[in-house]
Every structure is written in C-alpha cells, then in structure tokens.
Structure 1
C-alpha cells in the first residue's frame, strides 16, 4: 500500500519504506553498476537493510557501507518478512550486523565474493525461510522475479542503456 506518495508499509510489521530518504526496512535493495549493467541488466549492486531501513552493502575490499549505498540510490527493492527469519526482527538485525562485521574483514572479488555474497551470508545467518543455502545466483534470480522498482527512473536507469546498446548493435549488424 502506498501512502503519502513515497511511503509504503510492510503490512506485517508496519515498517515504513521511505523512498525519499532511502529507508527500506527488511528489504534487499539493488542498483545498476555503470557499464556492467548496461551490457547485462540482471547484474547490479546489492545491499540489505536493517529494521531501521538503513542499508548495508559490501562495496569494496574490507569495507561495508552503512547508509551510503554504493553506485547511487536503490533502483529496486525486495521487501521481506522478518517473521520468516530466525529470531524475528532482532534476529534479522543481528544477522545483517554479523554478516557486515565479517565482510569488513574480507577482500572483494567481483566474481565470487561480492555484495551478493554479503547479502546471502546475512540471509543464511538468519535462516530466512528456514534456508541456509542462499547464494548470489539465487538472490539475483529472486530480485529479478520479486523486486519492485523504486520509481520509473529506476526502471529507466536499469534498462535504457541496455536497450540503446542492443539496438545499436542490431542496426550495425544488419546494415554495416
């Protein structure tokens, strides 16, 4: 349910999503990575928010940002239900905090230990939906399937560059 234009409420916990302040409680958020997302629009930067809505994201070697989402503001979010995590709201926050503390001590590898891996670790620690096998591929697929765009601009910045590059490539292939 959208109220006051930019506020949305998680019906289970009445947690306010405030898009104007980038507050996404109990959500996984995603934004495009320039160049990479332009070629592969399903690849982007991912973070996970605490119950307060503050986003944590592994955005480089030995660094987990808090309230400073890498690559700009979120373009998409996937709202989750904290009652499906072990320990409810406190379990959610504890898992996100512990995963962040671990990733502050890790190097970043774009292919196998990245922002998606950080979110997957948090999901595994909270045993979300009684699962402990969350991984970057599963999370990417779930974001494609269940996320919502923050606004129309989020959709445009995700798909327009890909559409321009693809159209140009097709035209060049057909006519050159």
Structure 2
C-alpha cells in the first residue's frame, strides 16, 4: 500500500507542480550593463527600422541576464546583442512556463506535444537546447530570423501554456508590452524614421508617404500570411 501511495501518478503530478514553482530569485534588471534576466529584448535595425520603425531585432535572456540572439546563419550571439544596445525589454514570468521531467509532470495542456518537441527542466536549459538547434539553421529575414529563434525558445518553454508562438505574436508581445530603457532609446528608434520621412516628403512629396505605407503593408501582409496561412514556408 505504501508503494502505491508513493508512486501514485496524482501524487507525482502535485509534487512536480510544487517543485516547478520553487524558483530561485533573479538579479535586478540593469539595461546599462545589458543584464536583463528572463527578458525579451528589442533594438532597432539599421535601414529597415528607418523605413518601418515597428520592425527590429529581438533576443531573449538567460536567468543571469546574458542576451542570446540569432543574428546570422549557424550563429547565435551570446552576451553581445547585435545591432546595438537594448532599446526595449519585457521580463517574462517563469511560473508561466512548463518545466517537465516526464509526461506526468506537465502542467500545460500540450503534454504529449511538448514532450515530443523537447521539454526542459529549467529556463536556461530550454534556451540552450534552442541554441543547439539554431546553430544549424540558415538566417533569412523573411523565413528564419531572430523572431523565429525567440518563438522557438518560448515554444520549448510552453510559455503561457502555448506552443503557437511565432514571429508575429513575439513581435506583438514586445511591441505592446515592452518597456523603453529611456528617452535616448525612444529617440534612437524613431528619429531616423522621422528624418527619412521628412526628407522623402521634401524631395519626392506625398507619393513617398504612400510608397512607405505600401512597404510597411507588404511586410505585415507577408508575415501574417506566412505565419498563419502558409507555415510550410517558414523554418522554425
């Protein structure tokens, strides 16, 4: 009887939940030193962000605050955020992740699917596993980019109980919930766009604004269609 009680699946599941939420405290966020534990981070891209300021480069941080970002084919930056310092960040809650040692210890509704894709025991374990995977991926702005890497990390964590993270909802998460590092970051993100816009109107006129809007619309349409309609085009 005692053996049955010890190995009872319900008992194991409740024990796993207790262990999962017993997480060690994180250090304070310090954007100036590029230490942002368990954060999503964003910075504007040269040229691209000048034309479409809602597009930028994203990364995700380890529990000690070190930034990881997929910035080139077969290459994930560790501790050296490509394209400049962090402009926006959003700290994620580890309690919204599913850390499962076995199928019975899943707290998400995607237990079997999550196990198949590769569940992890810790936040850092999930990110490092994703790094190993992306070290064999070719970088492509439209099909496999920095947003793809972050989405893959969140899917491995089953963050928020979801395994449907993609380029679009990762971008929306940092865009609508991200916190600016400071006034300088805001200026660095929007001033080039404002300058380009003013010069375009001055030299070309209103057709420049129409062309710029059309460019932004094309980008948004591509990512929406690719991520929600033709997923086979993407490499996650």
1:171 is aligned to 202
Query: Quick check: 1:27–1:78 contact (8 Å CA) kept in 2?
Result: yes
The equivalent of 2:231 in structure 1 is: none
C-alpha change, 1:14 and 1:66, in structure 2 (3 Å) is closer
Q: Secondary structure at the match of 2:80?
A: coil
The 5 A counterparts of 1:29-108 are: 29-87=41-99, 91-108=122-139
> Can you give the 5+ residue segments of structure 1 that lack an aligned partner in the other structure?
1-11
1:63-112 Cα shifts (integer Å, max 9, x gaps): 00100111111111111111111129952211111111111111101111
Match in the other structure for 2:3: none
What is the aligned residue count? 163
Asked if 1:111 is matched to 2:111, the reply is: no
Contact 2:41 2:58 in 1 (8 A): yes
Paired residue for 2:186, among 144, 155, 159? 155
Q: What is the DSSP-based 3-state SS (H/G/I as helix, E as strand, rest coil) of the residue aligned with 1:58?
A: strand
SS in 2 for 1:109: coil
What CA distance in whole angstroms lies between the structure 1 residues aligned with 2:121 and 2:60? 15
Higher strand share: 1
Q: Is the 8 A contact 1:117 1:135 kept in 2?
A: yes
Partner of 2:176: 145
- Cα distance in 2, alignment partners of residues 90 and 78 from structure 1: 22
**What is the rounded CA distance, in whole Å, between the counterparts of 1:115 and 1:77 in structure 2?**
15
Aligned to 1:131: 162
User: Shift of the alpha carbon at 1:123?
Assistant: 0.1
Normalized per residue, which structure has more helix?
Answer: 2
| Unaligned ranges ≥5, structure 2 | 1-23, 101-119, 207-236
- SS in structure 2 at match of 1:108: coil
- CA shift digits 1:39-86 (9 cap, x unpaired): 010111110001000001001010001001111111111111111111
CA contact (8 A) 2:26 2:64 kept: no
Residue of structure 1 equivalent to 2:209? none
Structure 1 residue runs of 4 or more that deviate by more than 3 Å after TM superposition: 12-15
Which structure has the bigger radius of gyration?
2
**TM-score under structure 1 length normalisation:** 0.87
